[in-house]
């Protein structure tokens, strides 16, 4: 009886999460067909369902957000989830810098859902609101700590130039070891992939929540985020 009650309680929670994440998917395009309709637990096959139960333990959006798209390819999703688990919870990069790197990718790709999900995590981990606010506006933050400045320059150059200068690489080496640099590159690239999933699936933020990021072209981002290159 106790086991049956626990299972029913879990299923009820998952149904509630699915209902909430449907609102996230539909939030900004109420009159347009959804590209990837929100999956429910009842629709999932055994492989999808097993992964979904792991996802809801750590995801602020349940099986919504990128997971709603990823679950369409459960083998890929399982492998991607393992990578994400490492990059979020077991990485060698300090959480403040890790979340900062994720926010940088969210701003560069104007991924509304990614920013909405990770901005609270970044500030909770110790990133100052002033740094996050400047980045949100597409400006190079003016009050970064030394390690944040090194991470910022490295990540922005890597993303906009598709390479990193010797000066920026060597500066990062003063605050990170080799494993941390590799993990930083991996979290940046992984969250570019997640931004592609979110933007292509047109996943925004919860209903009645303002979009956090203003649209910016790549040229505007380049001028704002790398002002020395005007």
Asked if 120 and 215 sit in the same domain, the reply is yes
Domain-terminating residue out of 89, 116, 151: 89
Rounded Cα distance between 144 and 150, Å, is: 9
Q: Say yes or no: 99 and 84 in one domain.
A: no
Instruction: For the chain, 230 residues long, give each residue's pLDDT as a single digit of tens.
Output: 444 434 433 443 343 334 344 444 444 456 789 999 999 999 999 999 999 999 999 987 799 999 999 999 999 999 999 999 999 999 999 999 999 999 999 999 999 999 999 999 999 999 999 999 999 999 999 999 999 999 999 999 999 999 999 999 999 999 999 999 999 999 999 999 999 999 999 988 888 899 999 999 999 999 999 987 54
- The tokens of 179 are what? 């494993």
Contact between 203 and 61 (Cβ < 8 Å)? no
Domain total for the chain? 2
Question: What are the distances in angstroms from CA 8 to CA 4, 42, 49, 229?
Answer: 6, 13, 15, 58
Q: Are 157 and 108 in contact (CB under 8 A)?
A: no
Q: Are residues 178 and 122 in the same domain?
A: yes
The answer to whether residues 69 and 157 belong to one domain is: no
Residues 21 and 100 occupy one common structural domain: no
* 138 and 112 within one domain: yes
Judgement on whether residues 137 and 218 belong to the same structural domain of the protein: yes
Domain stops at, among 89, 115, 144: 89
Q: Are residues 140 and 210 in the same domain?
A: yes
Does one domain contain both 46 and 121?
no
Contacts of 197 (CB under 8 A, 6+ apart): 66, 69, 70, 203
State how far the Cα of 153 lies from the Cα of 174, in Å rounded to an integer: 13
The span from the CA of 27 to the CA of 56, in Å, is 21
Same domain for 79 and 167, yes or no, is no
- Quick one: 28 and 141 in the same domain? no
CB-based contact 20:206 (threshold 8 Å): yes
Which of 89, 120, 147 corresponds to the end of one domain? Answer: 89
Range of the domain at 120: 93-202+206-229
Q: Are residues 84 and 100 in the same domain?
A: no
């Amino acid at each position: 009886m106790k086991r049956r009650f626990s299972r029913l309680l879990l299923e009820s929670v998952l149904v509630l999460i699915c209902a909430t994440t449907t609102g996230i998917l539909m939030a900004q395009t109420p009159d347009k067909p959804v590209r990837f309709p929100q999956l429910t637990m009842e629709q999932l096959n055994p492989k999808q369902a097993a992964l979904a139960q792991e996802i809801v333990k750590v995801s602020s959006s349940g099986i919504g957000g990128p997971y709603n798209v990823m679950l369409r390819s459960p083998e890929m999703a399982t492998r991607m989830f393992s990578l994400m688990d490492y990059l979020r919870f077991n990485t060698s990069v300090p959480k403040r810098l890790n979340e900062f790197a994720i926010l940088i990718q969210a701003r560069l790709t104007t991924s509304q859902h990614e920013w909405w999900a990770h901005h609270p995590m970044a500030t909770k981990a110790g990133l100052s609101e002033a740094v996050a606010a400047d980045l949100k506006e597409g400006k190079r933050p003016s009050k970064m700590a030394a390690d944040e400045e090194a991470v910022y320059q490295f990540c922005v150059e890597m993303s906009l130039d598709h390479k990193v200068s010797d000066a920026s690489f060597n500066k990062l080496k003063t605050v990170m070891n080799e494993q941390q640099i590799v993990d930083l590159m991996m979290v940046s690239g992984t969250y570019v992939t997640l931004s592609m999933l979110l933007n292509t699936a047109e996943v925004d933020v919860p209903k009645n929540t303002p979009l956090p990021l203003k649209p910016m072209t790549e040229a505007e981002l380049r001028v704002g985020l790398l002002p020395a290159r005007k």
